[in-house]
Structure 1
Amino acid sequence: MQYRTLGKTGYNVSSISFGAWAIGGTWGEVSEDDAMSALHRALDLGVNFFDTADVYGDGRSERLIARLRRERPEPFYAATKAACRLDPHEAGGYNAQNLRGFIERSLQNLDTDTLDLLQLHCPPPEVYGRDEVFGVLDGFVQEGLLRAYGVSVETVDEALTAIRHPNVSTVQIIFNAFRFKPAEELFAVAREANVGILARVPLASGLLTGKMTPRSSFASDDHRNFNRHGEAFDKGETFSGVDFETGLQAVDELRPLVPEGMTLAEFALRWILMFPEVSCAIPGAKNAAQAEANARAADLPPLNEETMRGVAAMYDRLIRPQVQDLW
């Protein structure tokens, strides 16, 4: 496993970390035994950063991570997200009372006194420009409820607005071979501001594993079935906003670029790590085998320039017209 510094937090985090959405919910049924096996195997392999949210399984994901901490002596970082529980999810709800309530609930779920990292969970765009919201978070840091805070965003513009606030430590954003815009417009600014980048949806909801076909089907409670057009939340969270059929075509064009001995999923994760501004990629895992497959990518050799150009050419031809101007 390789490690990188996570922005202003100073945390030394595994370059392949663990995204805990899949073990919480909306990815089909995952048993508690399988979820815990995935968490334990990730920790075995040097993963020391686990990303969750209070809405993943209504706290289930947070509670599973708390169980991991009770069962293992090794220290690790647990990041969570808050405020997506607001109903309605409006900017006015981002106040001290509501945020404190969400934080206290996550502290209870995670069985801890202080959150390693709290991220605002894809708030309405106007929240990013409100100094008072970030002032509230500063107060929670001073109070000892948080060690650090950041934002989880949908768009590059939201990220750029957020990091103008001096104590934003991290930005979590969708970044993969189907989402080039962060590398083009965000990463240099984040590096200058010492803001860590968490690359979420690194495998484009599984498209970049290369295991899907036109006949692939998904459970009724899997967002890849019910959110392809943004019916439940931002459509960019499902297949990175790429049309499924176009995504399959793009995957076919990537296959010849994959070095011998690498799987397509490993290739997709290693591609992300070619960008030094990325502190870590956070693929999900539903079982131990998936956690192990993800972790292998951290120790693969760098991709060469010809390969990187090939990925860029695929993106420009097939993907850029669909996603570049939306997020």
Structure 2
Amino acid sequence: MQYTEFGRTGLRVSRLGLGGAPLAGDFGPVDEREIELMIHEAIDEGINFIDTAVRYGNGESERRIGRALREGRRNQIVLTTKAVGIDGDFSYRSTIESVEGSLQRLQTDWVDLLQIHDAERTSFEVVMEETLPALEKLREQGKLRFIGISTRRLPLLMQYVRSGRFDSIQFYVRYMLIDHSAKDELLPLTQEHGIGVINGSVLGMGLLADTPAKFLKPDIIQAAEERKVKLRFLRRTEPHGLVEPGMRFSLTQPAIHVTLSGASTREMLRTNMAYCDGQGLAPDDQARVFELFEGQKLLFPDE
């Protein structure tokens, strides 16, 4: 397992983190006992970063993680969740209630990192005047240590980074083999400000795994397939031949501190852990990937 410093927080984190969305069955049926065993194995094998949210399975991801972290496991990890809740209310009061509910489900008195979930769903003003002050109050009470923000919209993330009031950011589908639009402006900015960076959906909601999410539109899937054809030089196996290069592409990016693994079984977890050995793409291959899709967003291209 590879480790790094999480921005300016002082936290030492595994470069591979465990993502909480699949744990609740958001991407298909899962076995609850298998989930608990997988979480235990992840911790035993050195993964110390677990990311979840109340919106994953309407709190079920948090509940399952909370059950798995009993009997001393909690203090072995960097635990992060997200506010706000299902109703999408980013007000001060709703944020407090969202976090208190998360703590109960996670069976803990505090989390290491609390992120504002999908910040594009509200205005910059509401976040800065309502949501963020609520989290800062909770931090004063010892219920969280650091504050982060998540959205796929890169200009919005840069606006929050420049505010100087956040410790971390999380984005998704913005640094992967077929869309690496985060690398030119956002990642240099986070390095300048000492911001922790979490990369989600590094396989593009299943596109790079040849198993696209059911909610993706046909035109997006077709566009991804056209880009994947250009990446045939990276494939070593069929099918799913872009999973390994896709994971390594993110895991070895110095400005990305944690790449989330969307595993729901121990077998999937072990496969992903094997890629976290510090070995990235060959330099010529990486340069070729950058040249192929320079400045080209795939999902949500207008954002």
Question: Considering the TM-score relative to the shorter chain, is it more than 0.5?
Answer: yes
1:256 aligns with 2:233: yes
Return the letter of the residue paired with 1:8.
R
Taking a change above 3 Å as real, the CA distance of residues 243 and 325 of structure 1, as seen in their structure-2 partners, is: closer
Higher relative contact order (CA 8 A, sep 6+): 1
Match of 1:96 among 92, 98, 122: 92
Deviation of the 1:259 alpha carbon: 6.8
Does 1:171 pair with 2:147? no
Q: CA deviation at 1:250?
A: 2.6
Q: Which residue of 2 aligns with 1:36?
A: 36
Mapped partners of 2:170, 2:297: distance in 1 = 23
- How far the C-alpha of 1:325 sits from its partner, in A, is 4.3
Task: Tell me, yes or no, if the aligned pair for 2:84 and 2:90 is still in contact at 8 Å.
Answer: yes
User: Which has the larger displacement, 16-25 or 247-256?
Assistant: 247-256
Q: For the structure 1 residues 315 and 84, does the alpha-carbon distance in structure 2 shift closer, same or farther, using more than 3 Å as the test? A: farther
Deviates more, 1:29-38 or 1:185-194: 29-38
Per mean C-alpha deviation after superposition, the further-off stretch among 49-58 and 306-315 is 306-315
Match of 1:119 in 2: 115
Map of 2:160 onto structure 1: 162
Which amino acid in the other structure matches residue 271 of structure 2? A
Distance 1:40 1:154 in 2: 30
After the TM superposition, which residues 10-49 of structure 1 pair with which residues of structure 2 at under 5 Å, given as runs?
10-49=10-49
Identity value in percent: 26
Give the match for residue 228 of structure 1: 216
Q: Count residues with an aligned counterpart.
A: 296
Q: 1:44 to 1:253 in 2, by over 3 A?
A: farther
Structure ranking higher in helix proportion: 1
C-alpha deviation, 1:273, in angstroms:
2.6
Give the corresponding residue for 1:221.
Answer: none
Q: Which residue of 2 aligns with 1:83?
A: 84
| Residues 196-225 of structure 1: CA deviation (Å, up to 9, x unaligned) | 11000011122223x44xxx8xxxxxxx22
Other-structure match for 1:320:
296
Rounded to whole Å, the distance in 2 between the matches of 1:71 and 1:251 is: 45
Contact 1:22/1:284 (CA < 8 Å) preserved in 2? yes
CA shift at 1:2, angstroms?
Answer: 0.5
- Give the structure-1-normalised TM-score: 0.83
Aligned partners of 1:257 and 1:310 also within 8 Å = no
What is the aligned counterpart of 1:309 among 273, 287, 290?
A: 287
Q: CA deviation at 1:41?
A: 2.5
Name the amino acid aligned to 1:141: R
Counterpart of 1:235?
none
Distance 2:123 2:111 in 1: 21
Contact 1:258–1:264 (Cα < 8 Å) also in 2: yes
The root-mean-square deviation of aligned C-alpha atoms, in Å, is: 2.4
2:129 matches 1:132: yes
Cα distance in 1, alignment partners of residues 66 and 54 from structure 2: 13
Counterpart-to-counterpart distance in 1, 2:121 and 2:59: 25
1:279 pairs with 2:257: yes
**Which runs of 5 or more structure 2 residues have no equivalent in the other structure?**
none
Name the counterpart of 1:151: 149
Alignment partners' CA distance in 2, 1:248 and 1:34: 32
Contact 1:5 1:11 in 2 (8 A): yes
CA distance in 2, matches of 1:30, 1:72: 25
Structure-2-length-normalised TM-score? 0.89
Tell me, yes or no, if the aligned pair for 2:180 and 2:297 is still in contact at 8 Å. no
What does residue 233 of structure 1 align with? Answer: none
1:253 positional shift:
2.8
Q: 1:20·1:51 contact (CA, 8 Å) conserved in 2? A: yes
